[in-house]
Amino acid sequence: LAQRMLSIARDIARHRPLAALLQEVIPPALELLSSDKVLGSAYEVVVPQNPPLPYYVAILLDKKRLRRLGEPQTLPFSSSQMGRQLLAVTVELVGGDAGPLLLATAHLESTKDHATERKRQLLQSLRHLRQAVCKTPRAVSAALLGGDLNIRDEEVKAVHKDLGDEAHGFADLWSFCGAPEAERWTWDTTQNSNVGANFACKTRFDRILFISPGVSDAPGVAGLAAAKAKAKAKASPHATHATATSSGEGWRPRSIRLLGKEKVAGLGRFPSDHWGLLTEWTCGSSAPASAPEKAAKPALGFANLNSSGAVIDLDA
């Protein structure tokens, strides 16, 4: 446990994202991460109210660069059979000109048999994001949901249909960033040996979905249900940056990459059976850069990490 969690902590310390969204966290792991000698001196740890056991979700917030606005929100999924919930917190950049951002994470109901409940949970989560962005006066300028969503493309399409007009403006970050094939599969038994599977399975369980007015709803940006079709049409092993042509201001994803693909030294296993996601964003009035070295402003990072490699993973 300690070796794997320290490997995840090293990834976070190396990339220094503004926030890290964690799933399947257990108390000993969180205690280790929040130690001042590990990440506690740099990150505030946000957990659900009355977190369920054996594991739950958590959000790490950069203490110097982010300011938390109000108390975190915990939205239990009332019909969950696995104690799942949505954890959300509103933040703003210290000294930045971007508006407030709602960060949310969830570990949606696991296994194929629980598709109905999982779709219900995703629907509830996306509606929570939309309500935050559409409040008058607007409470936040953008909102994102990142986590081990356990979701399949056909389930996303069904949720998109159920949302109706409420689906407008939502985008899948991986698709928005050009659907890079090399960064597609977050649970891959052909590359990750932690599960010890004797079968080949590649899925995109871990996703980041977002709504950012002027960015995610711009002409030419694919919506949630179009993610699979866009991936087939535009996937490229070298595509890592946003291809949308919109010039709206606001929170804008710029790139996405997989994390945790190196085995822990001396252990012979990966930090988790899921790959993590690291994303770069620009915000405010700066135009998005086509490459990091040409950025008008430094890129802002968010990480999504599943620590299930340190515990028994029900998703397996």
Phi, psi of 167 (to 5 degrees): -75, -15
Nearest to 61 by CA among 106, 104, 19, 103: 19
Nearest to 144 by CA among 64, 68, 87: 87
**Of the residues 11, 97, 113, 148, which is catalytic?**
148
One DSSP character per residue, 162-198 reads HHGGGGTTEEEHHHHTT--GGG--SEETTT--SS--S
Q: Reply yes or no on whether 148 is catalytic.
A: yes
Q: Is 305 helix (H, G, I), strand (E, B) or coil?
A: strand
Residue-level length of the chain: 316
133 secondary structure, DSSP code: H
Q: What one-letter code names the amino acid at 304? A: N
The answer to whether 274 and 187 are in contact (CB under 8 A) is: yes
> Which active-site residues does the annotation give?
148
